[in-house]
Structure 1
């Protein structure tokens, strides 16, 4: 996994225009992969709510029990901006070793851009 930072950097450079142009309607379909554990409503499930995640500090939902790995990852005041979310969605376990999130990640740049557009849409709809 030593290649992840380099791969993520290349991905983010290539994806920057795509992230800006994501399709929220298509992102709603991509979100179905997230929905078993996450909600776009202000309700936690197995995973924390993703309502308002873009712009939110990492591991900051007060009533959610984050893993020690995610709490440690939040050190330094990290915020879930589009670039950080995009990098995380490539491989959550590689970015945050020890996370409880079992999802392996999204491999298509377009899916990541669309999902981010959906999460940024008012109330995630």
Structure 2
């Protein structure tokens, strides 16, 4: 959802996605597919599976060996919220210092909002 606040545009990730919005999120998520899947049960990628991310604790995919930094982060952040995931996608190292994730972040708020809604929303 996009809201105008005077001369400033605010992009607010929403979890309710229309079909067209879901396609935008899926397209934006393409940059994540090399390491992550949103297909339940898919294994063998270099990052954890993100299916059902909103319904489970952070760093709780039993098929993935999380870094010490990510396990520490998870101990004080029980679940991904839209805001927390947006901040992480902006600058992973700032949110989880020492993470092994080789991703430098997304600067475009509209891309992050689409990915957040796609990952945390119902598809």
Normalised by the shorter chain, which TM-score bucket?
0.7 to 0.9
Alpha-carbon deviation of 1:64?
A: 0.9
**Structure 2 unaligned runs (5+)?**
1-9
Kept after mapping to 2: 8 A contact 1:55/1:81: no
**Structure 1 unaligned runs (5+)?**
1-13
- Distance between the aligned counterparts of 2:87 and 2:55, measured in 1? 15
- For CA contacts below 8 A with separation 6 or more, give which structure has more relative contact order: 1
Which residue pairs with 1:59 in the alignment? Answer: 59
- Distance between the aligned counterparts of 2:62 and 2:105, measured in 1? 25
Q: TM-score, normalised by structure 1?
A: 0.77
SS of the residue 1:48 aligns to: coil
Q: TM-score, normalised by structure 2?
A: 0.78
Which residue pairs with 2:122 in the alignment? Answer: 121
Q: Give a deviation string over 1:53-74, Cα, whole Å, max 9, x none.
A: 1242111111210000000001
Which residue pairs with 2:46 in the alignment? Answer: 46
Matches within 5 A, 1:23-102: 23-42=21-40, 43-44=42-43, 45-102=45-102
- What's the Cα RMSD here? 1.7
- Paired positions, count: 107
- Distance between the aligned counterparts of 1:83 and 1:101, measured in 2? 19
- Distance between the aligned counterparts of 1:76 and 1:69, measured in 2? 12
Larger radius of gyration: 2
Greater percentage in helix:
1
